[in-house]
Structure 1
């Protein structure tokens, strides 16, 4: 396994914003070197970063027609921004008079007559957002952007930069987190409910129908290396890895040496550490110790299974999901713009120039390996 490298800071690799850390990224707009998101959003780089967020907003508003849920979320953000900007008493259906109590402790600084005049002149700007967007092609980002008030544009961009935006994207809960207790609760069909959330198992060939050769001891640890890469990637894409098969396969193959290079591992700890090291070494995968600790917890749960009787069940489910992912990735996308929303739009390849989709030939090899590991896990594997 590769050892950690000590890199000395100099003019060519030092963050130009904090001047105190190794620069891992470069701004796609101004090409300045920076080390982290904090530096990217720093005051000295604010003009450039805000321009990037504005472009992201424009692109987000131009969602593909099939992405109805994403449009609904976008409308929710716009509506919330609009409602937050309302001043009490500005609703045309309410009494036009402004109550000083609504303004609060700042009432002594407010000229009520001037404020009422401003509100009257801006009535058109405070029409309900759904009314303003009526008849507008929501697939045309420029049209939608023009319908927003200046305050809404600024607040919308600022909102995307806050942690609050994450609340609109619920965290994915992996199916392998479930562990049966001693007494299993059964649903009406008499089957354990957790299985309905797991990938459906395909028909798995018997191991002896694939080969008569006894598998080497390293096969088990190579499998763990691949499962670690799968678990990390599934989390990395927030459970939507199947929607971005080509990018997900690129991520898995990048961090799994057993899959991509046929590397053999001698024990489970080495196979797991290898994935951690490859995540750290990769210049387009953003991770930290918390993500890697979570990956270790995930692989532990996958290897334990849902119960003692079906110890390998989660392993089979993960490999089946991986098998389906490789089958999707064998098909070259006809139009890369069809998925310009979600993870792949927010982080397009032009911002991560080293991300390359795996060739169809490589994906076929990965699929062949996965089919072997499926049969191995079904008939041979003993964790």
Structure 2
């Protein structure tokens, strides 16, 4: 917008509180707003509710028809009942016998969803009782949908405590289990086979910028990653990949991601989430242990390589299928993506090559400043 025409003062004022300067733009209704409180305010409740509904719709549609996903679905529905019970049914919560009835609910849910296609949100919706449907809508209207979704624990949270005396040749079982949860490492050629030019010290900071963007997006989508959408979001906040920007120090590289998140038209976040992103980046750079410090960096870049490769493939072959809407789909509008920038195949290919280069660099050098 700034390239087309300068913004006047009225455009910069929050369209919801009409007081503060706007920082964000709602991707749905395109109204400018200044904070998360305004985004959730009464004036914007219709639009924000649709956002939460779409989140749940996507969550329901993402499940696979197996025992693990059925248990996950049951856990979501039980949390929904518990959340509503705490605030809207205090008398029931005080009755211990009523709380024990959750076991019956779990068995009943197992029976109702065991033979349905959990990839179809309308089928799941039809399997719910009228009371469960009403409770579900009530929870969405409150904007507390996040409280019923299982929170993902990132694979980079483990860090082995270093002891003054280590067993020679010994293995750490906890570290071995932690490494199994990491994305598979990608094999890359040695850096010397790719170039004879001495790498710039800025590469370490650029890698930090990429990893910070990856960590934020993984948390933002709670590990429910769609390759095309994740690639769009990462490019939206990662200047190293999107604009080939070089950073002179890691603090600037981190702060760049934070500022891009705050300025993004796609992302709604806050300072707490950005602090978590910075801590996640630190943990990834530290690695699972002192002797295996680069493993998390390699895992993050390897996963990022996979995401971009799948996005490149999907953006070429993905076709929009026209489907008959069921009751659930009609009630909750589909997620619109017209505001998403278009993915350019040639640009994704260059990003993939850059990620491969960064992986080769880590294989040959460390992330420590010289």
Secondary structure at the residue paired with 2:185?
coil
The whole-number CA distance in structure 2 between the counterparts of 1:220 and 1:265 is: 9
* C-alpha contact 2:285 2:297 (8 A) present in aligned 1: yes
For 1:68-83, list aligned pairs within 5 A.
none
Secondary structure at the residue paired with 1:259?
helix
- 1:376 and 2:361 matched: yes
Structure 2 portions without partners, runs of 5+? 1-6, 86-90, 95-107, 323-331
The whole-number CA distance in structure 1 between the counterparts of 2:198 and 2:261 is: 32
Residue of structure 2 equivalent to 1:281: 263
Deviations 1:215-235 (A, max 9, x none): 112222212111111111121
The whole-number CA distance in structure 1 between the counterparts of 2:299 and 2:55 is: 37
Q: Which of 177, 186, 198 pairs up with 1:202?
A: 186
Q: 1:13 to 1:66 in 2, by over 3 A?
A: same
The whole-number CA distance in structure 1 between the counterparts of 2:268 and 2:192 is: 41
The whole-number CA distance in structure 2 between the counterparts of 1:326 and 1:54 is: 27
* C-alpha contact 2:36 2:269 (8 A) present in aligned 1: no
Structure 1 portions without partners, runs of 5+? 1-6, 87-100, 105-127, 339-345
Deviations 1:197-229 (A, max 9, x none): 112212221111111111112222212111111
Calculate the aligned-residue CA RMSD, in Å: 4.4
The whole-number CA distance in structure 2 between the counterparts of 1:308 and 1:143 is: 47
For 1:124-163, list aligned pairs within 5 A.
139=120, 141=122, 144=125, 148-149=129-130, 152-162=132-142
- 1:63 and 2:44 matched: no
The whole-number CA distance in structure 1 between the counterparts of 2:318 and 2:365 is: 40
Residue of structure 2 equivalent to 1:328: 310
Residue of structure 1 equivalent to 2:298: 316
Residue of structure 2 equivalent to 1:222: 206
Q: 1:178 to 1:13 in 2, by over 3 A?
A: same
Larger Rg: 1
User: What is the count of residue pairs matched by the alignment?
Assistant: 327
When the two structures are superposed, what TM-score results if normalisation uses the length of structure 2? 0.70
- 1:14 and 2:4 matched: no
The whole-number CA distance in structure 2 between the counterparts of 1:163 and 1:382 is: 42
Greater RCO (Cα-Cα under 8 Å, separation 6 or more): 2
Q: 1:76 to 1:315 in 2, by over 3 A?
A: closer
Q: Which of 156, 162, 166 pairs up with 1:176?
A: 156
Q: Which of 269, 272, 288 pairs up with 2:251?
A: 269
The whole-number CA distance in structure 1 between the counterparts of 2:253 and 2:232 is: 19
The whole-number CA distance in structure 1 between the counterparts of 2:219 and 2:55 is: 24
When the two structures are superposed, what TM-score results if normalisation uses the length of structure 1? 0.68
Deviation at 1:373, TM superposition (A): 0.7
The whole-number CA distance in structure 2 between the counterparts of 1:61 and 1:324 is: 22
Secondary structure at the residue paired with 1:331?
helix
Q: Which of 177, 182, 196 pairs up with 1:193?
A: 177
User: Which range moved further: 210-219 or 160-169?
Assistant: 160-169
The whole-number CA distance in structure 1 between the counterparts of 2:194 and 2:230 is: 27
For 1:15-34, list aligned pairs within 5 A.
15-23=14-22, 24-26=24-26, 28=28, 34=33
Deviations 1:140-174 (A, max 9, x none): 7399469754x654432121244653343222222
